[in-house]
């Protein structure tokens, strides 16, 4: 089976989430919690971000979330953390 191209941030998030799923360290996926309600006891999420993405990026995000059973917000938060930590190492 041919590997599907993932944009760099989604590819990083994919590897982390896949590892967490294999090791049993992942937060509950879609089936264990209500959509759009973060686990308040872990991290207090106080800021709401809104941004636009193109159709292809959004479609890739949906496919990725469906394949990994991860919430969109969780994937975006992890990808952003990975991106920012990589930028800090380069500075």
pLDDT tens, residue by residue, 33-82: 445 665 545 777 889 999 999 999 999 999 999 999 999 999 999 999 99
Cα angle 50-16-31, degrees, rounded to a multiple of 5: 70
- pTM score: 0.54
9 found inside a domain: no
Range of the domain at 91: 55-91
Residue 13 lies in a domain: no
Please check whether residue 63 lies inside any domain of the structure.
Answer: yes
Count Cβ atoms below 10 Å from residue 64 Cβ, excluding itself.
21
User: What span, in angstroms and rounded, lies between the C-alpha atoms of 4 and 2?
Assistant: 6
Q: Are 3 and 57 in contact (CB under 8 A)?
A: no
Establish if 88 belongs to a structural domain. yes
Query: For the chain, how many structural domains are there in total?
Result: 1
In a domain, 7, yes or no: no
Distance CA 10, CA 70 (A): 12
Q: What is the pLDDT of residue 4?
A: 60
């Amino acid at each position: 089976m041919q590997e599907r191209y993932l944009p760099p941030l989604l590819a990083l998030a994919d590897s982390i989430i896949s590892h967490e799923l294999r090791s049993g360290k992942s937060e509950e996926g879609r089936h264990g919690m209500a959509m759009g309600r973060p686990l308040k006891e872990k991290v207090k999420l106080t800021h709401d971000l809104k941004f636009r993405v193109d159709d292809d990026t959004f479609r890739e995000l949906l496919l990725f979330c469906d394949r990994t059973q991860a919430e969109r917000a969780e994937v975006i938060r992890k990808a952003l953390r990975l991106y920012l930590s990589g930028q800090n190492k380069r500075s």
